[in-house]
Amino acid sequence: MDKIYSVNGPVVKVADTKSFAMQEMVYVGKKRLIGEVIRVQSDFTTIQVYEGTTGLMPDEPVISTGAPMSATLGPGIINNIFDGIERPLKKLEEVSGAFIADGADVSSLDTEKKYPVTMTVKTVSAISVTTKRSHPAGSKRRTTVITGSTWAASFTARSFRHTKASTS
């Protein structure tokens, strides 16, 4: 198991490991604080922890998730206010009071609530997006073509629409 070598503010180093990849989400210490790998070298892996590191000590475990930092999308996020790592503040207050406890683990979406959802899946070779933006020399249009496997989501107050584009 990988262990903390040093702690310097929000920066944690793990020595002599090949377990981590750049931008990977990791759990740091006994409290399972959320962090992200920001540097991989032959002798050290550097992690930025997104929660308070007070009390974090060398030799505490660092656990790989094998996945990058990510955000959960769904219709329930529209009615919430989140902290920087997508934890809903109302749920955090219920769990830990007025001050956010380090390592507090709450779901970003209410998994018990039922949402009216319409999902549409299409297979296309590309998605073309045209945007209009202001420019000092006048209005400009820009077209972006996205090819390959792409997910796009749009939200309304009543529904969630999800489209996947692939090259197959």
| pLDDT tens-digit series, residues 53-110 | 999 999 999 999 999 988 888 777 888 888 888 888 988 899 888 888 888 888 888 8
Residue type, 110: D
Residue 104 CA: distances (Å) to CA of 12, 85, 112, 122: 19, 11, 20, 38
Between residues 128 and 39, the one the model is more confident about? 39
Q: Decide: 11 and 48 in contact? Cβ < 8 Å.
A: yes
